[in-house]
Amino acid sequence: MAFEVFDKRSAPMKGTPSVTIQKRGILSINGPAHKLIDGALVVELLFDKSRRVMALRPADPSPRSYALREPSKTGQTLLSATAFMDAYNIDTTVSRRYEPFEEDGMLCINLAGPSIEVHGNRSRASKEDAGA
């Protein structure tokens, strides 16, 4: 059996902004990333096709805006963006974690940039149940 090197990047460093695009188009935004948009609870979703960058821009409630779920005790907040992911053909077959950046007051995710495939506890448990 061959050894493999543990990649610490699979777990985000404490205090580092991260956004995970989960299977089926749910965005999971950690506390440091949410702070990049001042903890906004209503956003508009934008997409730059040429750069493959999606963005969340703080907004007032409107027919085009999305409400984020209140942050959990750990600071995580969620946003269902399934229709957005479908409209721009963003792959959601596996969950991927990105390091977002701030641009013009928006929380941006470079979908063409580096990302880490992530597996939650549920997928790990189902593999164990299946005898994997």
Domain ranges of the chain: 16-120
Q: Pick from 68, 72, 75, 77: which is nearest to 43 by CA?
A: 68
Section 51-58 average pLDDT:
98
Question: What is the model's pTM?
Answer: 0.81
Structure confidence by residue, pLDDT tens digits, 26-53 = 999 999 999 999 999 999 999 999 999 9
Least confident of 45-49, 115-119, 120-124: 120-124
Instruction: Tell me how far apart the alpha carbons of residues 97 and 118 are, in angstroms, rounded to a whole number.
Output: 7
Instruction: Tell me how far apart the alpha carbons of residues 95 and 10 are, in angstroms, rounded to a whole number.
Output: 12
Q: What's the mean pLDDT when you consider all of the chain?
A: 88
